[in-house]
Amino acid sequence: MDCSDEEVVLSPAVVQPVRRGRSSNLEIPVFLLFYAWNVSTPVLTDQIIYQACTVSLAANVSDCAKLGHEHESPAVLDLEARVQPYTADILMVEALSDSILPAALNLFIGPWSDRYGRKPVLLLTFSGFAVSLAMITAFCGWSRWYPLDPWIYTFAFIPSALSGSVCTLMSTVYCYIADVTSERERGAKMALLDTSLYGGMLAGSLSSSYILRKTNATTVFAIAAGAVFLAVLHVALRVRESVHIRRHRVHVGCCTKLRHLFRLDMVVDTVRTCFK
């Protein structure tokens, strides 16, 4: 890792910001990400419930398989009452990890992206989701052969939380669109992006149960992880940087960039701008 603080003057040809009016190219990765999110979320909840029942509570496998179905017997209803609080604790950890830490990180990452560009943040957030889904796929696959406590899935929430989760992702996406569009076309681009977002959510919700019936939970998670890895590749190869490097100054070392990520003065400037 280059920790040098030396600044190197770049020629204008090195910096190629996206011109206004050019397609943002973010609709496809946003569609893929939210498709992956919605296709995997209900399956993950069911998987956590099942593993909490069979592993944590050591209940009968046949009774655990009946959870969530109609016409449950009194024994299954009693088992469901025991499983639900256990599952709720795990899902609460997921909700907190995807909200509190990303919201705090967004205060620092937003001003940082104004200085060093949107693309690194986009790559970071998409990659965080990809790693999380890959970990969930691995844990689910291992659980078919080895009894794994469902709390192990909380480790899979860490990469997406540390990379900013949806909070940082969507803030950066909207900043990117503001960078590359004029005021006249910005509304249409925002509408197109929202269409991609909700289209991905709808496609994921509609296909989740069908894929699960035809395959298994591990396959569903693998498809979701594959979709997000495709989104990462798209961002890496097709999305161009939108931020001009002012005064043609740059390249500072990686350590310096990391230190600048937690500069409070940039956060203060952002807050002041919000209340002007």
The pLDDT tens digits for 132-188 are 999 999 999 999 899 899 999 999 999 999 998 999 999 999 989 988 888 888 889
Average the pLDDT over each of 193-202, 211-220, 239-248 and give the range with the smallest value: 239-248
In a domain, 150, yes or no: yes
Smallest CA-to-CA distance from 192 within 20, 30, 35, 66 is with 30
Angstrom distance (rounded) from CA 117 to CA 241: 6
In a domain, 252, yes or no: yes
pLDDT at 19 over 60: no
Angstrom distance (rounded) from CA 227 to CA 104: 27
Task: Identify the domain containing residue 147 by its residue range.
Answer: 23-45+102-274
210 contacts 41 by C-beta, under 8 angstroms: no
Task: Give the pLDDT confidence score for residue 71 in this predicted structure.
Answer: 54
For residue 29 the two structure tokens come to: 């990765």
- In the chain, what percentage of residues exceed pLDDT 70? 78
Into how many domains does the chain fold? 1
Hey, what amino acid is at 29? P
In a domain, 176, yes or no: yes
CA dihedral 74, 77, 79, 83 (to 10 degrees): -170
Domain at 222, CATH number: 1.20.1250.20
In a domain, 139, yes or no: yes
- In the chain, what percentage of residues exceed pLDDT 90? 48
In a domain, 140, yes or no: yes
In a domain, 40, yes or no: yes
Angstrom distance (rounded) from CA 219 to CA 212: 8
pTM score, whole prediction: 0.85
For residue 19 the two structure tokens come to: 């011109």
Smallest CA-to-CA distance from 112 within 272, 276, 247, 243 is with 243
Over residues 30-64, the pLDDT tens digits come to: 999 999 999 999 999 999 999 999 898 888 888 88
Angstrom distance (rounded) from CA 222 to CA 225: 5
In a domain, 33, yes or no: yes
pLDDT at 13 over 60: no
pLDDT at 100 over 80: yes
Give the other-Cβ count within 10 Å of 133's Cβ.
27
pLDDT at 4 over 90: no
Smallest CA-to-CA distance from 83 within 40, 41, 54, 44 is with 54
Angle between helix axes 100-116 and 119-143 (nearest 10 degrees) is 140
In a domain, 82, yes or no: no
Task: Give the pLDDT confidence score for residue 16 in this predicted structure.
Answer: 45
For residue 100 the two structure tokens come to: 């509190």
Q: What residue has token string 């190629």?
A: 16
Alpha carbon 37 to its chain centroid, in Å, reads 8
Query: Mean pLDDT across the stretch 224-252?
Result: 81
**How much is the CA Rg of the chain, to the nearest whole Å?**
22
Angstrom distance (rounded) from CA 26 to CA 178: 13
